[in-house]
Structures are given as structure tokens and as C-alpha cells.
């Protein structure tokens, strides 16, 4: 059996205080995301998304953040996928960005809503042609017989759209997480981590410190 009890890492790179953070969680996130980019982390926009359908059973997966502004955090998916079905049943979600090289994580809790078709189309047009075709072919989360069958479908779709632009599928698009709370976590020595929580109160944000 693996012995994990002696695996320890003391975090000493930085600290975080109520006085040092920006009054807006969106500005604070932009600053930290910029730090993650400058550190050349692999996929710094990767976030773990947690959903929970009406049956109360939680589900997790990694998705990529593709749009971010003061309205929230946007990712894209097939609207027939498990995550989409779960969001339709229960729009309350949570997401986490984990940047271990910086000894940081950001936790977001809020509600999910579909973005407009125009917003989805704007992003879809920026994807590679191969990714556009992939969106048409992948019946996300469904069981398939083999990868060979998947690749055959890819070739059929390439032939179908060979003479023009690939249109936006009506079953594919974005969701925006509208945050109700955002926590910034900075690792510290002896597991006495800094945790600064933003909580939405009307149009304003309350800033609090949480115990490690």
C-alpha cells in the first residue's frame, strides 16, 4: 500500500490579507490569473466544475474557462451532455482553479445560465475548423462503440462541410457562472493558509477572512 502520511509540502511563496486584495473579486481574479499566465502554468484556465442534479448526486469534471468579465465565468459544452442536464435540473454550481505552482486556488460558487446564441457563435467562429467539426460529431457523455466509429463520423462531417463554413450546432454553446461567492486561497506555512472570501450582498461584495 502507498504511504501518503509523510507527504508534506510547506507553502512559503506569498501571503494574502484583507488589506492587500482588490475590493472587486473580478479584478482580484484577473490579477491572479495574470500571475498564473506569467508563470507559464499548463492550462491556467482549467477549472474543476461541480454540478448536482435533482437526485442530489454530485458530479465533477475539468472544463476550460473561455470568457471572463464582471458578469462571470463562461465555459462551453454540448447542451445534451451530463453537465448540461444537471445544470438544467439544478443551476447551482461550484468551480475551482488550482494553481499549485503558485500555492494558490480560487473557489467560485454561484448559478449557471446559458449565454446568448450570439455570444456562443462569436466564440465558435474563433475555434479551429477541426474543433468546430468535433462539436458536431461528439454526442458528449454518451456511450459509443469505438473510437474508430467516432473518427468515421468525423470524416463524414468533414465531407458535409467541405465547401463552406462550419455552422454553430444548435445543441452547443456556453454557460456563464454568476458568482455569489469567490474565495481566494493562498498557501502558508504549517497549513495556516490565508483564505479571503468575497460574498455578494446586493450589488456589493463583502470581504471576510476564513479560518485555514
Can you list the domains of the chain with their CATH numbers? Answer: 25-117+172-210 (2.30.110.10)
Q: Is 155 helix (H, G, I), strand (E, B) or coil?
A: helix
Residue 7's pLDDT band (cuts 50, 70, 90) = confident
Task: Over range 181-186, report the average pLDDT.
Answer: 98
- Cβ–Cβ < 8 Å for 16, 106: no
pTM confidence score: 0.93
- Cβ–Cβ < 8 Å for 95, 177: yes
Q: Which of 127, 191, 195, 209 is catalytic?
A: 191
How far is residue 43 CA from its own chain's centroid?
11
- The per-residue pLDDT for range 65-109, each reduced to its tens digit, is 999 999 999 999 999 999 999 999 999 999 999 999 999 999 999
The end-to-end CA distance of the chain, in Å, is: 30
| E-strand stretches of the chain | 46-52, 58-64, 67-69, 72-78, 92-99, 104-114, 172-186, 194-201, 204-210
User: What's residue 82's pLDDT?
Assistant: 95
Task: Over range 172-182, report the average pLDDT.
Answer: 98
Respond yes or no: is residue 61 known to be catalytic: no
Amino acid at each position: 500500500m502507498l504511504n501518503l502520511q509523510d507527504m508534506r509540502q510547506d507553502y512559503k511563496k506569498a501571503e494574502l490579507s484583507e488589506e492587500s486584495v482588490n475590493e472587486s473579486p473580478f479584478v482580484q481574479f484577473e490579477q491572479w490569473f495574470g500571475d498564473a499566465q506569467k508563470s507559464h502554468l499548463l492550462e491556467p484556465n482549467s477549472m474543476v466544475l461541480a454540478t448536482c442534479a435533482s437526485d442530489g448526486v454530485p458530479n465533477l469534471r475539468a472544463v476550460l474557462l473561455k470568457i471572463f468579465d464582471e458578469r462571470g465565468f463562461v465555459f462551453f459544452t454540448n447542451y445534451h451532455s451530463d453537465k448540461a442536464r444537471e445544470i438544467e435540473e439544478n443551476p447551482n454550481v461550484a468551480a475551482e482553479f488550482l494553481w499549485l505552482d503558485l500555492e494558490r486556488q480560487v473557489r467560485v460558487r454561484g448559478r449557471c445560465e446559458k449565454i446568448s446564441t450570439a455570444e456562443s457563435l462569436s466564440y465558435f467562429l474563433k475555434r479551429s475548423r477541426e474543433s468546430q467539426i468535433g462539436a458536431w460529431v461528439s454526442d458528449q457523455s454518451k456511450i459509443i462503440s469505438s473510437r474508430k466509429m467516432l473518427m468515421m463520423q468525423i470524416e463524414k462531417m468533414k465531407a458535409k462541410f467541405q465547401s463552406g463554413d462550419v455552422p454553430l450546432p444548435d445543441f452547443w454553446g456556453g454557460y456563464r457562472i454568476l458568482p455569489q461567492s469567490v474565495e481566494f486561497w493562498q498557501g502558508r506555512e504549517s497549513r495556516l493558509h490565508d483564505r479571503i472570501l468575497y460574498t455578494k450582498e446586493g450589488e456589493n461584495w463583502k470581504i471576510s477572512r476564513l479560518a485555514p
